Chain A
Amino acid sequence: MAKTTSKRKINLVAILRILVYLVALFSCVVLTITGFFPVLVQGEHISGYLLMIHATFAPVFAACLAILAVMWASRCRLTYADWPWFQRFIQWISAADSPGEETPGDRPCLGQKVAFWLIVLLALPLILSIVLSMFPILGTHWQEYLQGLHLYTAAVFVPVALAHTFLLIRAGKR
C-alpha cells in the first residue's frame, strides 16, 4: 500500500515535471520569436503587440525555470563519473583513494547536466537585466547596457536550451 502511494506520488511529480518543462519550452519558443523578430528582421526595438506577448510569457517562463531548477538540480549534479579524467587528476594531486564509481542509472548525461547548469546560470542575467530596468535605478546609459545584456544572454541561452531539449529527447528515446 505504501509502495503504491509512493509510486503514485512519484508519478505525479514526474507528470508535473514534464508539464512544467513543456510550458517552459513553449514559453521559450514564444519569447524567442517575439524577442528576436523585431530586432533581427525589422531592425528596431520590440514594441507593440509583440512586446505585450513577450511580457506576458516572460514571468511564466521565469517561474517554470525556477521550478525546474528545484526539481532537477539534484539529478543534474555533477559527479566523478561524469569527469573520469578530472577524477584521475584530483587523485593524482591529492594521492586520495579512488572514491568508487557512481551508479549512472537513469541519470542525465554529462551534456544534459552541463546544459542544465548553463541554463540556470544564464537565466539570472536574462531575468535580472529586464527586471532591474523596470525600477528607477539606472539611467539611459545603463538601460542600453541592460538591453544589450538581455539580448546577448538570450542569444546564448536559446541554443543551450535547444541543446538541452535535444539531449533530453535523445535520452528519452534510449
Chain B
Amino acid sequence: MLTAFLCLLVSCCSAAAADTGQKLLGDESDGSMAHPIHQIPLLAEEGDEIGPDDDPVLPFSTKQTCGACHTYDVIATGWHFSAADANVPPGRPGEPWILADGRSGTQIPISYRAWPGTFTPSQAGLSNKLFLKIFGRHLPGGGAGELEPEEPEDIMRMFVSGKLEINCLSCHDADPGNNQAEYDTQVKKENFRWAAAATSSFTTVTGSAKDMPDTWDPMMPEPLNDPKKVPPGTKYAANTFGEQKKVLLNIVRETPANRCYFCHSNMHLADEHTEKWTGDEDIHMTAGLTCVDCHRNGIKHQIVRGYDGEAETSENPLSAASSCRGCHLPKTDGSVPVAGRLGAPVPEHKGIPVVHFEKLSCTACHSGPWPSDKTALVKTARAHRLGTIGVNKSPQALPHITSPVYATQEDGKIAPHRLLWPSYWADMKDDAVVPIAFETATSVVGEALADVERPISGDWPTFTSDHIVKALNALAGSAEGKAVYISAGNLYSLDDSGKLARQQDHPAAKPYLWPIAHSVRPAAQSLGIRYCTDCHDADEGFMFGDVAIDSPVSADERDEAKKMTDFQDVDPLYAWAFSTSFVFRPVMKLVAIGSAGVLALVLLLYVLKALGCFAKVLGGKN
C-alpha cells in the first residue's frame, strides 16, 4: 500500500515537472550567434535509433529526432500547425485552401480556422484524411496531419500510412538538396510516415502505402503477391551515417527564403511578366532582408504575420514591432530610440494629407501590383500546387483568384486583397445554405454534365441555365432541403415550375477576400508618388477599376464585373465627384496663393507706411 502510494507520488511529481515546462536542450538559446552543429542520431517513430544495417530500414521521425532536443508539443502550438485547434484565435483572415473541380463548376474556400466566408473541411464533406490527400502537398505537417481519425476505416489506414508529423525540415533544412516537391509525391501515395524523410537529400522512399491492405505492418513489412503494389521502403544514401550512427544535418534557425517560397509564392497574370526573371522580388528581399527577418518566432513558433493589430491576439512579443509601422514608423515616445530597425527608412510622406493614414493601410499604396482598370488572375503556391510535379501551368487553371481588389478591412481601412468568387452546390434549408459534400457533388453533377466541354487549359466550362437546371434536378435527391448552386455572387435554384431562378447578391454567395502584403513595391512606385490622381482619377483603377466576377455560369445569366467602390465604404458618386474635382486643384492653388500674396502685400504696404510714420515722429517731424 505504501509502495503504491509512493509510486503514485513520484509519477505525479514527474507530471508536475513536465507541466511546469522543463526545457530541453534546444528550447532556448545559450546566446551564441553561431549555428549549433546538428550531427545527431536519426530516430524512428517509436524512438529507436536508425542505422545503416537496420532491417527494415525505417524512415526517421521528426517528432522523435528533432523532439529529442526541441519540445515537440510546444512547437505544435505554433501558427503553422494550429489550424485544426478550435481554441486558437483565427486572427486576420488569410488565404484559404481552395477545393476546385472544373467538371462540377466548384471552387470553394476551405479553412480549419473558420474565417468568415470559408468552410471547414467537415462542412465541405472532407474527412481529415481526404483533406490531407488533397492539400498535404503544401502542409508543413502537424495540425490536421496528427488528428485522430474519425472514420473507423481511417483508423486502420492510419496504422498503415502513419501520421503526417511536423516536417521541421521544410523550414529548417538549409541543405540545397531538400526537395519539398517530394513531399507532395509521398502524400499522394499516403506515405505520411515517410513524407518528411523523403524530402531530405540523403533519403529515398519507394512504394506506396495507399496500395497496401489495412493489415499491412510497416514494422514487419511483407511484400505482396502483386508486383505492381510496392510497399513503402526507405533507403539512405551511402555515407549518410558517420561515427556512432550520427548524421550531419544542415539545420539553421533562420529559414532560407527558398523554403518559404515553396508555399508562399505568387504569380500575377496581368501581363507578360510571368517568368521569374522578368519580375522583381519584394523590395525588402532586394534590400537584403529575408522572410524571417520580419516573420520571426521563438520555440513556440507563434510566427509574426506582420499586420497592424496583430499584437492584440498574438503572444509573440515582436508582433507589434514587426508590422509595417513597427519598423518604419515606430513610436518615438519611449525612453530608448527604436527607429531604423533592420535598416528601415522612416518615410516622410511629403504632401500626403494625414487623413490618408486613417483611411488606408500601408499596403494600399505600397503592396501588390499597381492597380489597373481591370483586376487580373493570380496564381498562388497553395492554391495552384506551384512547385510540385505535373502542375498545370496554364494561366486559366482553376481556381481563379482575382487581385488586386482594394476593399475595406475590418479595421475600416482600405487595403489590397485577393478575392475568390465561391462556386459550389449546396443544400438550402430555411435560408441556411450548406455545401453538399464535395465527393457527392462532383460525382452527381459530373455525371449529369458529362457532355459539357471542358477546356484543355483547365479553365471553367460554360454552364448555361439548362445545365444548371439539369444538375439541380440530379442533386435533388442528395439535398435534405432544396438543392441550389452558388456562383458569381448569385444563388441559383429551381422555382415551383422547375425553371431557374436567380437571387442576386445572395449573402451565401459573397466573395471571400483576404488581405495581401507582398510583394512590396519600391517607394518610387508607391501610389501617390506622382500626384493625387494616381488614385483620385475616374480613369484609375484604385476606386474605379472593374473587379471581374469569375464563374462557370454563362455571361447571360450573371453580371460580369463589379466596381472597386462596391468593396469600399465609399459612396461611388462622391468618389467620382471628388476625383473629378482634382481637375480644378491647380486653379484652386493658384487662387489661394494669389490671394495670400495680395493680402501679404497689403499688409506689408501698410506696415511699412506705419513704420514710416513712426520714423517721422521719432525724427521730430509731424
| Chain A residues with a Cβ under 8 A of chain B | 44-49, 51-52, 55-56, 58-59, 62-63, 65-66, 69-70, 73, 77-78, 90, 93-97, 99, 117, 120-121, 123-124, 127-128, 130-131, 133-140, 143-144, 147
List residues of chain A with CB within 8 A of the CB of B344. Answer: none
List residues of chain A with CB within 8 A of the CB of B598. Answer: 66, 69-70
Task: Report whether B585 and A94 are in contact in the complex, using a CB–CB cutoff of 8 Å.
Answer: no
Look across to chain B and name the residue whose beta carbon is closest to the beta carbon of A51: B578
List residues of chain A with CB within 8 A of the CB of B585. Answer: 134
Whether a CB of chain A sits under 8 angstroms from the CB of B592 is: yes
Which residues in window 509-560 of B have CB below 8 A to A? Answer: none
Please measure, in the bound complex, the distance between the C-alpha atom of A123 and the C-alpha atom of B585, giving whole angstroms: 20
6 additional contacts (CB under 8 A) given A62-B595, A94-B617: A44-B358, A52-B574, A52-B577, A65-B599, A96-B621, A139-B347
A151 to nearest B CB, angstroms?
12
SS class, residues of chain A in contact with chain B: helix
A168 to nearest B CB, angstroms?
19
Task: Report whether A133 and B353 are in contact in the complex, using a CB–CB cutoff of 8 Å.
Answer: yes
Task: Report whether B351 and A136 are in contact in the complex, using a CB–CB cutoff of 8 Å.
Answer: yes
Please measure, in the bound complex, the distance between the C-alpha atom of A65 and the C-alpha atom of B577, giving whole angstroms: 27
Whether a CB of chain A sits under 8 angstroms from the CB of B594 is: yes
Contact of A63 among B354, B591, B610, B622 (CB under 8 A): B591
Q: A70-B598, A131-B593 are in contact. Are A45 and B606 (CB under 8 A)?
A: no
Q: A47-B359, A62-B595, A144-B354 are in contact. Are A120 and B588 (CB under 8 A)?
A: no
Identify 17 residue pairs between A and B in the complex whose beta-carbon atoms are under 8 Å apart, listed by A's number: A44-B358, A47-B359, A52-B574, A59-B587, A62-B596, A66-B598, A69-B598, A69-B599, A90-B617, A96-B617, A96-B620, A97-B622, A131-B589, A133-B351, A134-B585, A139-B348, A143-B349
Task: Report whether A143 and B617 are in contact in the complex, using a CB–CB cutoff of 8 Å.
Answer: no
Whether a CB of chain A sits under 8 angstroms from the CB of B452 is: no
Look across to chain B and name the residue whose beta carbon is closest to the beta carbon of A46: B355
List residues of chain B with CB within 8 A of the CB of A73. Answer: 602, 605-606
Look across to chain A and name the residue whose beta carbon is closest to the beta carbon of B578: A52
B487 to nearest A CB, angstroms?
35
Task: Report whether A139 and B359 are in contact in the complex, using a CB–CB cutoff of 8 Å.
Answer: no
List residues of chain A with CB within 8 A of the CB of B602. Answer: 69-70, 73, 120
Q: A94-B617, A94-B618 are in contact. Are A120 and B351 (CB under 8 A)?
A: no
Look across to chain A and name the residue whose beta carbon is closest to the beta carbon of B348: A139
Whether a CB of chain A sits under 8 angstroms from the CB of B74 is: no
Please measure, in the bound complex, the distance between the C-alpha atom of A56 and the C-alpha atom of B583, giving whole angstroms: 12
Please measure, in the bound complex, the distance between the C-alpha atom of A164 and the C-alpha atom of B194, giving whole angstroms: 88
Look across to chain A and name the residue whose beta carbon is closest to the beta carbon of B355: A45
Task: Report whether A94 and B591 are in contact in the complex, using a CB–CB cutoff of 8 Å.
Answer: no
Whether a CB of chain A sits under 8 angstroms from the CB of B352 is: yes
Which residues in window 607-622 of B have CB below 8 A to A? Answer: 609-610, 617-618, 620-622
Task: Report whether A128 and B596 are in contact in the complex, using a CB–CB cutoff of 8 Å.
Answer: yes
A21 to nearest B CB, angstroms?
15
List residues of chain A with CB within 8 A of the CB of B130. Answer: none
List residues of chain A with CB within 8 A of the CB of B353. Answer: 133, 143
Whether a CB of chain A sits under 8 angstroms from the CB of B35 is: no
Task: Report whether A59 and B591 are in contact in the complex, using a CB–CB cutoff of 8 Å.
Answer: yes
List residues of chain A with CB within 8 A of the CB of B277. Answer: none
Q: A47-B359, A94-B618 are in contact. Are A140 and B600 (CB under 8 A)?
A: no
Please measure, in the bound complex, the distance between the C-alpha atom of A52 and the C-alpha atom of B588, giving whole angstroms: 12
Please measure, in the bound complex, the distance between the C-alpha atom of A147 and the C-alpha atom of B475, giving whole angstroms: 62
Please measure, in the bound complex, the distance between the C-alpha atom of A94 and the C-alpha atom of B353, giving whole angstroms: 53
Task: Report whether A94 and B603 are in contact in the complex, using a CB–CB cutoff of 8 Å.
Answer: no
